Structure 1
């Protein structure tokens, strides 16, 4: 399958290069100029001296959105994994070793407010992709202006309302009793932009004990005043998903649908009703104030409440968390100079109550862990537009982190742990130099350092389960990259980036014999990579040709990630490949729309084999995944409708969309569905 993939990607390169020769200078703008927020700069991506990707609403709606999996995995250097419905792990230029579930080592913002809490955890699976209008991804350390996170930054924006009033509704059905639906209302004027969305997502799942059910209510309302743009946001989400657990290779081959079976030492996932039951509420407000004399102040405040229950195979955890936070940025423009100064603060109070698990019901309480955590960051950045199309950007941040940990009833060794400022790099600088080469091309060099503190969950898990507990240290990362971008009348967009990142004190997840997790600091990790992305319009928008428009995209990624220094007990893993990272990735996307409204979407995603443990003794086989969707769209007066049918895993590959790395007993595998089918309908009413 790897040879076939290599040929297809090679032919795709030739095809794209052949088509470029026929690109016409007067072509209609189809792909559009991309404006990115980036490091608070709000400028064309051609003038941004860093690796930034942006996914716009059209690309998000292309998938009619059961999960964000397909949306994010179109981007070079980004990998979202799904071990079972609702259980996500996100990696930006790196492994997912730290994330048994959720998102860690990546800072996540929603409408300019951080939804990464003071514990370092982001509950990304609570957001409904149907309500998202754009996604911006910063790759690599971004601590100079965004604080903790070596992997990068994910910035999600709610949809903007269309002009006037509109009601939208849609339904998506699929194999395994999948049913997703949404209902939204939009109101857009020069003074107000309102978006309100309710959605439900549920499925029985492919495997035993893998059902998922989520309801989400999302509100975004922006008021445009004389000198202010004031926005209020709200999110309510109720999520239940069951976790089938990992299988050995023999168990997967015998019955890939099965949940993790019981052993002589531990019960199985099905009998313990393993899963996550979570309710979350987020409210926030953001104001942009034009102060005059080129000053602008953006201020945000927010509050999050999270209640989570996790019946696991070996215990039952009940978690309650409250997070408050703020962010403000003051900017000033002076001729060819622009400056930013700002601050961000998060505080999370958490209670982790741990009980015995009696067949999915909590029974005898073991202990309660109480954690108060706080993050604070102060940052400064300047950007200078220099002669000869040079742009110099430089910035830094000063950071602090505090954890206060207490266990009740107390144990002599772990009664209290107070970590003040220890697990962070207090100074995180960044400098980039960009050179414009005419109107359509630029090159840049970017140097940045960052840090990622151990999360509260990692700290607690290690206190509870590590054979020889040692206080965890923050990861430290230093990233170097050079990139080339080219855009021809928005008809052809391409980017090539070379990067190298050195990580010290890298945090690696391990499991005990009973399946409980704990974390260790490695000595050093080296990440070398090449990312190539290419998008072009093969057919300009044309109202007379049989094919109205056609677009094609190709991403090719090379990753060489390895441990440089890592000794655990008697084992030396120096020189071993990092688990969970494919050396070669490829993604091909083709979209064709016919004049009468018929359309075709095709995706092809290739992952080379990857190691599943630190020893590199077990590898996942390469995967060659594809999707096909056919549909019809039409506008009749003030009603737009779309109907479609599709096939996932078109080639019927045997694969896992997420693995358990370094799993005890070689239970690495979480089998994903074979070939399956879906269809749906969407209606938009404008009035």
Structure 2
């Protein structure tokens, strides 16, 4: 049965209900007061989030791990305003994450938003990142920074998502967990942690398997993680990390047309051009799939010199990918016949070295960080035809053979002065990115060449303490986004690299307020305005290849509100609401001025009402996630993915028996069994825009930890 689209009036109703509940809570018996959260993102030093002139939210370990599958960061990121994190139900293409509209058009992986894990970039030098490398089983917290302060992290920093894993501490412990659910979803995780002779250690390994909600979406993911922390001296700390992710033959379900989605949201798309086997499923014909093998190591050393500090971080890794796409070879022009199989191996490494100086100045404290950030990736990339003889889905003739190298070099300085009721911040970063291509398959033309980009990013912020419980702030910055390597691969004519693409530049302005209402309710609000020039958009898409162009100016303006409250009797609530109007200010091609940016909802909401018993032995929560409609292409001519609102419930229990710590949970998602589009593939040439989200589904898990 067709369901009515979700409307903004529905969001208003949910907000009103949440606000009413929180108002009633003011009369409830007081519970534990809300404490300020210490963050590192934005200021690069330990800082109370209440006194930071930026929009920043922190997801703690309980929100990330308790009652969750701990496979996709979207499980917890949905609780952050300004951020849209979609599980595409496609483990071959990773999550779709955008911050205030930046990154919404990414066809795979994450672009426009910088990802960092334990100080190590999960975003490559070109701006493309992979959230799948995050180890959520060992997460301690995730800090999500939006707005002008993100620009201090350089290229592709429309927002910053930074994961911090736990340090090994205290008595040794071993823990195992088993989770199962709908669509034959299952996960097993084993970890150990502790501290011995001053050395903290964390070791984790897991296997995740699913048949997938959509047709041809089965996946198996193996992850491993290890972390050592030690103190060579009383004033220093050394942290060593290693991680691995392996996905073998992860099925790629692709997107579907609106007609197919309406017929069956779980169905695959048929191939109308296949005259030999009419209406054959495209994914079956080509066996679309992707294998990933990602390994990396890192080391961070910190030396305190009184109030000053020197920090050095180095990392390196290897990533191997082979992907079978939904076409055999590109036949529009002979010069671009690079084939339907992508095979590359990437070596990457980098370093970040900085010095923090703390001095007294003008009756206050001046903290200045000076540093340099370097990254480099080198790909050995081949392309093959996706058929042998009359059989598709097999690696055929070589059609592409090249080396791609991307490097970035970014010196930066950031200062913060705190005195009286004022906190003043200024930062400057100069980014340089170079791309070089060495083409070894020259029978179709020599595409060797290179391009370099550079940009200076200034940032300013000011916060004033109106009272002990109210802070107001304003900030501004200039940001930029270079084309990623994949966006440079093809020109509009279909042949050769598109070295003529320019980076998009943006001006960010934000004003906000942070306030405590009583001792157990905190509210953060922000208004923002972002103007971007040379926005990158789809130019030509067809035959499995997409080229890009620089378009006109765009404008993003909106508001964010988040509210956290602890009631009496064990109740708590969280509300995160975003309103965003993202439009093209100038027309181009068939796109009229005023058209909405695709992939960006005008409003989205997360609401939660939770309860836990006095001894924390039992807990339950209701969650609502809502979004307005989303356009799938620049002209807004095709059917937009309708808005929706879903309701989730979770229940959990804990017990302590001697040295054992036991946990159980049950999660029920989409209680009303609502059919909805969870994400869209922006600008798909075949109009296969839509990726359905699961209807009613469940998860259940148990874990047992033994503390020695």
| TM-score, normalised via structure 1 length | 0.93
Separation in 2, partners of 1:215, 1:264: 37
Matches within 5 A, 1:72-221: 72-86=77-91, 87-142=94-149, 145-188=152-195, 191-221=198-228
Question: What runs of 5+ residues in structure 1 fail to find an aligned partner?
Answer: 540-546
| Structure 1 vs Structure 2 CA RMSD | 2.1
Separation in 1, partners of 2:409, 2:88: 33
CA deviation after TM superposition for structure 1 residue 679, in Å: 0.8
Equivalent position to 2:19, from 13, 19, 22? 13
Please state if 1:415 is matched with 2:447: yes
Query: Cα 1:63–1:515, aligned 2, differ >3 Å: closer, same or farther?
Result: farther
Please state if 1:386 is matched with 2:419: yes
Moved more, 238-247 or 553-562: 238-247
Please state if 1:334 is matched with 2:359: yes
8 A contact 2:97–2:104 mirrored in 1: no
Equivalent position to 1:615, from 635, 654, 658? 635
8 A contact 1:142–1:449 mirrored in 2: no
8 A contact 1:424–1:451 mirrored in 2: no
8 A contact 1:576–1:614 mirrored in 2: yes
Moved more, 162-171 or 376-385: 162-171
CA deviation after TM superposition for structure 1 residue 511, in Å: 5.5
Matches within 5 A, 1:22-61: 24=30, 27-29=31-33, 31-39=34-42, 40-61=44-65
Q: Secondary structure at the match of 2:110?
A: coil
CA deviation after TM superposition for structure 1 residue 469, in Å: 5.1
Equivalent position to 1:279, from 285, 293, 303? 293
Structure 1 residue runs of 4+, over 6 Å off?
none
Separation in 2, partners of 1:282, 1:230: 17
Please state if 1:231 is matched with 2:239: yes
The aligned counterpart of 1:222 is 229
The aligned counterpart of 1:538 is 567
Separation in 2, partners of 1:680, 1:650: 19
CA deviation after TM superposition for structure 1 residue 499, in Å: 0.3
8 A contact 1:424–1:452 mirrored in 2: no
Query: Cα 1:519–1:63, aligned 2, differ >3 Å: closer, same or farther?
Result: farther
Separation in 2, partners of 1:490, 1:305: 48
Separation in 1, partners of 2:497, 2:154: 30
Separation in 1, partners of 2:196, 2:473: 39
Separation in 2, partners of 1:38, 1:95: 18
Moved more, 575-584 or 437-446: 437-446
Query: Cα 1:237–1:162, aligned 2, differ >3 Å: closer, same or farther?
Result: same
Separation in 1, partners of 2:235, 2:377: 33
CA deviation after TM superposition for structure 1 residue 97, in Å: 4.3
Separation in 1, partners of 2:614, 2:654: 10
Q: State the number of aligned residues.
A: 669
Separation in 1, partners of 2:205, 2:685: 41
Matches within 5 A, 1:416-565: 416-420=448-452, 423-425=453-455, 427-462=456-491, 465=494, 471-487=500-516, 491-509=520-538, 512-539=541-568, 547=569, 549-565=570-586
Q: Deviations over 1:241-265 (max 9, x none)?
A: 2111111111112222222222317
Query: Cα 1:605–1:207, aligned 2, differ >3 Å: closer, same or farther?
Result: same
CA deviation after TM superposition for structure 1 residue 565, in Å: 2.1
Question: What runs of 5+ residues in structure 2 fail to find an aligned partner?
Answer: 1-5, 276-280, 328-339
Equivalent position to 1:681, from 691, 698, 702? 702
Separation in 2, partners of 1:78, 1:319: 31
8 A contact 2:564–2:575 mirrored in 1: yes
Separation in 1, partners of 2:347, 2:499: 28
8 A contact 1:172–1:680 mirrored in 2: yes
The aligned counterpart of 2:324 is 311
Please state if 1:363 is matched with 2:392: no
Separation in 2, partners of 1:654, 1:503: 35
8 A contact 1:424–1:453 mirrored in 2: no
The aligned counterpart of 2:665 is 644
8 A contact 1:119–1:457 mirrored in 2: no
The aligned counterpart of 1:601 is 621
Query: Cα 1:184–1:461, aligned 2, differ >3 Å: closer, same or farther?
Result: farther
Separation in 2, partners of 1:381, 1:584: 33
Separation in 1, partners of 2:224, 2:519: 36
